[in-house]
Amino acid sequence: MRELFFAIIAAWALLFVYALGLVVYRKAFHPLAQYPGPWLWSVSRVPWVYHQVSGNLAKAILKIHNQYGEVVRTSPDEISFITPSAWRDIYGPGRTEFFKKDMKVYPRMVENVDSILTADNANHPRHRKLLNYAFSERALRAQEPLFQKYVDQLIHKLRDSIGTESSVDLVKWYNWTTFDIIGHLGFGEPFGCLESKDYHPWVAMIIEHIKGGAYLSASKRYSFLIPIMRRLIPKELIAKRNAQLALTKEKVARRVATDSSDADFLSFILKENNEKGLNRAELEVDASILIIAGSETTATTMSGTTYYLLKYPETLKRLKAEIRSVFVSEEDINFLSVQELRYMNACIKEGLRLFPPIPTGLARILEDRPGGEYVSGCFIPDRTRVSVSQYSAYRSPLNFKDPDSFRPERWLGDPDYAADKRDAVQSFSIGPRNCIGVTMGWAEMRLMLARVVWNFDLELLDDGFNPEQQDVYNFWQKPALNVRLSDASKSRRKA
């Protein structure tokens, strides 16, 4: 009995000495020890995991940058940057070879099948080359009628609501519109969200899945947590997930079997696909990724930009004046003409800055580089995790004057904002793994915002949407954006 007691004490003592040794090593002797950061974050990943599962990691990292500067240590093996040059040094051309995607953060949707988002450097070009056909200028021109059709539907439905509903939640309406557009482009058929004024089960499931993904990526930091997390996932969620995968297969199979004249993604991809291209399982996961990446992002930017326009009425006034003076009729509003709306473009850029759809860092890990690398002039040893934290970079007073204020004029050459580091904002990332949908995303958002502001006068009813109060689980957990709409035809005539 005494021996057992002493063995237990000795084991605890050893564990204590080991933990103490690890703390001292990580804080004083680790190759990243020179980088500033809160000491608890430097010696343990627990604070990172805690904030990730609490939904406030992006804001916690901003706080660290505000206290410690542009380059900070946010975990024993992780550095966060907010410098403009870090974009080029981590994600730029020639750098993705060794700054690889951190697979603890990027989960696969289907076991053993990589999408364009998770494919390694050897396979990524295969996905990207084929998908590029669906995102060419020519494709976008052919796709414009489809975008106009769903924006028409949005406008009609919102107009119908004026007489019957005292307010509308624009978060839902923007999400329904972008899901219907991308569902049609991805699967050859819409989800019918606008028609039913509800989220399709496929869409509802994917929203739940994204939040679950944030927990999973947190649990991957401690391998003993993975089986526990797997057990904790409710059976009902697994069943729904399987149903969603089955529906994806079914939708892709139906679309492949149809000889459609639509300019949807598969019409471009299938024409060019061959045995060196993508197999059916890869097409299915890419379709799913396109739907998530191409809907939540644009809907978030639309919601954020609309919210800030309403919070800063002088900006909305100026935007209305621009849209309602440039166009004579609504038919003039199209992909080409909206590019010319200078003020509106600045408003969307400012919306992307204050409310980036992907607020946390795009996680990368330096691999197979025994000699290390430099990022923004800082030495990074092999096996270090790095990222530019978008929310932190965009809200930092080191990069922007009045960082929390909505000031579209900072993008229009206003001398008051001449010192802003605008190239710290790379909402679509850069380099070979940047956003494939950047041109499409811009076209869609410009069209939607111009037509909403053309058609309606808007009034914010409450501050429930305030991003300062929102959680982030990979994406923002957006509450309602409650707005009262009125028909703008009278105010347009007066103007």
Check residue 175 for interaction with ligand HEM (CB under 6 A).
no
Among 26, 30, 209, 433, binds ligand HEM (CB under 6 A): 433
* Cα–Cα nearest to 432, from 116, 175, 192, 201: 116
**In which element (H, E) is residue 43 found?**
helix 39-43
Check residue 134 for interaction with ligand HEM (CB under 6 A).
no
Both tokens assigned to 236: 């009902």
Nearest approach, Cβ of residue 186 and ligand HEM (Å): 8
Q: In the 8-state DSSP scheme, what is residue 25?
A: I
Cβ-proximal residue to ligand HEM, closest one:
437
Tokens 């998530």 belong to 292
Nearest approach, Cβ of residue 483 and ligand HEM (Å): 20
Stretch that binds ligand HEM, among 160-168, 199-207, 335-343, 426-434 (CB under 6 A): 426-434
At position 474, the amino acid (one-letter code) is: N
Tokens 């978008």 belong to 390
Check residue 436 for interaction with ligand HEM (CB under 6 A).
yes
Neighbours of 237 (CB within 10 A): 13
HSE of 473 in the Cβ direction (CA atoms, 13 Å)?
A: 17
Check residue 358 for interaction with ligand HEM (CB under 6 A).
yes
Among 72, 375, 440, 448, binds ligand HEM (CB under 6 A): 440
* Cα–Cα nearest to 394, from 386, 405, 384: 405
Nearest approach, Cβ of residue 457 and ligand HEM (Å): 25
Among 217, 288, 392, 429, binds ligand HEM (CB under 6 A): 429
- The interface with ligand HEM within residues 361-420 (CB under 6 A) comprises 362
Among 84, 190, 212, 294, binds ligand HEM (CB under 6 A): 294
- Nearest residue (CB) to ligand HEM, 87 versus 456: 87
Among 277, 428, 457, 479, binds ligand HEM (CB under 6 A): 428
Stretch that binds ligand HEM, among 246-254, 288-296, 412-420, 486-494 (CB under 6 A): 288-296
Stretch that binds ligand HEM, among 45-53, 297-305, 338-346, 375-383 (CB under 6 A): 297-305
Among 83, 219, 298, 305, binds ligand HEM (CB under 6 A): 298
- Nearest residue (CB) to ligand HEM, 113 versus 162: 113
Among 82, 109, 116, 346, binds ligand HEM (CB under 6 A): 116
Both tokens assigned to 133: 């056909």
Q: Concatenated DSSP letters for 469-484? A: G--EESEE-----EEE
Check residue 128 for interaction with ligand HEM (CB under 6 A).
yes
Nearest approach, Cβ of residue 20 and ligand HEM (Å): 37
Angstrom distance (rounded) from CA 376 to CA 378: 6
Angstrom distance (rounded) from CA 48 to CA 66: 17
Check residue 130 for interaction with ligand HEM (CB under 6 A).
no
Tell me the pairing of strands 482-487 and 168-169.
antiparallel
- Nearest residue (CB) to ligand HEM, 24 versus 438: 438
Both tokens assigned to 49: 């995991």
Q: Is 193 annotated as a binding residue?
A: no
Check residue 42 for interaction with ligand HEM (CB under 6 A).
no
- For 40, residues 6+ apart whose C-beta sits below 8 A from its C-beta are 46, 47
Burial class (CB in 10 A: 0-12, 13-18, 19+), 317: exposed
Stretch that binds ligand HEM, among 161-169, 357-365, 379-387, 472-480 (CB under 6 A): 357-365
Q: Give just the sign of the alpha carbon dihedral 397, 403, 407, 410.
A: positive
Query: Could you give the string, one character per residue 180-219, with x where binding to ligand HEM holds by CB under 6 A and - elsewhere?
Result: --x-------------------------------------
Tokens 């414009």 belong to 144
Angstrom distance (rounded) from CA 226 to CA 442: 38
Stretch that binds ligand HEM, among 40-48, 158-166, 197-205, 434-442 (CB under 6 A): 434-442
Burial class (CB in 10 A: 0-12, 13-18, 19+), 440: buried
- Nearest residue (CB) to ligand HEM, 78 versus 485: 78
With CB under 6 A, what is the number of residues at the site for ligand HEM? 24
Among 151, 366, 435, 452, binds ligand HEM (CB under 6 A): 435
**In which element (H, E) is residue 385 found?**
strand 385-388
**What's the Cα-to-Cα distance from 199 to each of 172, 180, 323, 461, rounded to whole Å?**
9, 10, 31, 23
Tokens 């039913």 belong to 196
Angstrom distance (rounded) from CA 342 to CA 95: 33
Q: Which residues are annotated as a binding site for heme?
A: 435
Give contact residues for ligand HEM (rule: CB under 6 A): 116-117, 128, 182, 289-290, 293-294, 297-298, 301, 357-358, 362, 427-429, 433-437, 440-441
